[in-house]
Amino acid sequence: MSESTGGTRERIKAVALELFTEQGYEKTSLREIAERLNVTKAALYYHFKSKDDIVASFVEDRLKQMDALTAWGESQPPTLATRRELISRYADTMFGGEMPSVMRFFEQNQTVLKSLSSGQQMRGRMMQLANALCRGDDSPAAQLRAALSLFAVHTSWFAVRAPNLTDEDRRRLALEVADELLAAIGGKPDEKAATASSGDTRS
């Protein structure tokens, strides 16, 4: 291949994802990936020693994106505007480029993910991002709303099955639901106290 090493790796990942989607992860071999790329298996082996290595590279890309988002969120003031921008950036990572196909692959191959050390880190990164979303409000309700706002974006690819729904429609709907959750984070202390008092049933 005449491409740069980085370009070659990305091409291998793109072709592997195509085959994993078309015929399933278990039924796809490194030889088939090499054939579609029109390279030798040895050339492919130079970049990835196994299919698991290819999947691990998808996960590592995702972890880097989430780390960058978390770092950005933690550097900003803990306001609703920050939360909205952070969830919008998160949606951008979910809807851009190859990511929709990657996320569908993750959803359909949970066993493969759980067997990878990098895959086991995904849940922790999600919690870190949720913590960045609810900075300034450490209440259990805020923590739950932050996590659910991420879940709303994450699962919009799988939970919404309306016909003729465009990717942009799906993104907009996910962000609308997420915003309803985020808007309730960081309420004024007196409002929280009032809520807690109304829920006190003691006589």
Q: Name residues whose C-beta falls within 8 Å of residue 185's C-beta, 6 or more positions apart in sequence.
A: 80, 83, 133, 134, 136, 137, 142, 145, 146
How large is the average pLDDT for residues 32-39? 93
Task: Name the band, by pLDDT with cuts 50, 70 and 90, for residue 141.
Answer: very high
Q: Which structure tokens are listed for 140?
A: 């259990």
For 157-176, write each residue's pLDDT tens digit: 778 777 888 888 889 999 99
For 80-134, write each residue's pLDDT tens digit: 999 999 999 999 988 877 777 787 777 777 777 777 777 778 889 999 999 999 9
Is 8's pLDDT higher than 90?
no
Q: Are residues 89 and 152 in the same domain?
A: yes
Is residue 34 a contact partner of residue 11, using CB atoms and an 8 Å limit? no
Is 193's pLDDT higher than 90?
no
Q: Are residues 146 and 64 in the same domain?
A: yes
Q: Is residue 192 part of a domain?
A: no
Is 199's pLDDT higher than 70?
no
Q: Are residues 34 and 68 in the same domain?
A: no
* Total domains, the chain: 2
Containing domain of residue 36, as a range?
A: 1-49
Measured CA to CA, the distance from residue 44 to residue 30 in angstroms comes to: 8
Q: Name residues whose C-beta falls within 8 Å of residue 126's C-beta, 6 or more positions apart in sequence.
A: 66, 147, 150
CATH number at residue 16: 1.10.10.60
Q: Is residue 195 part of a domain?
A: no
Cα distances from 171 to residues 61, 87, 88, 149, 160, in angstroms, run 21, 11, 9, 13, 11
Residue environment code for 116-137, b if the CB has 16+ CB neighbours within 10 A, otherwise e: bebbeebeebbebbbbbbbbeb
Q: Are residues 88 and 40 in the same domain?
A: no
Is residue 22 a contact partner of residue 64, using CB atoms and an 8 Å limit? no
Q: Are residues 121 and 158 in the same domain?
A: yes
Residue 78 Cα to chain centre, angstroms: 22
Q: Is residue 202 part of a domain?
A: no
For position 191, what pLDDT does the model report? 43
For position 202, what pLDDT does the model report? 44
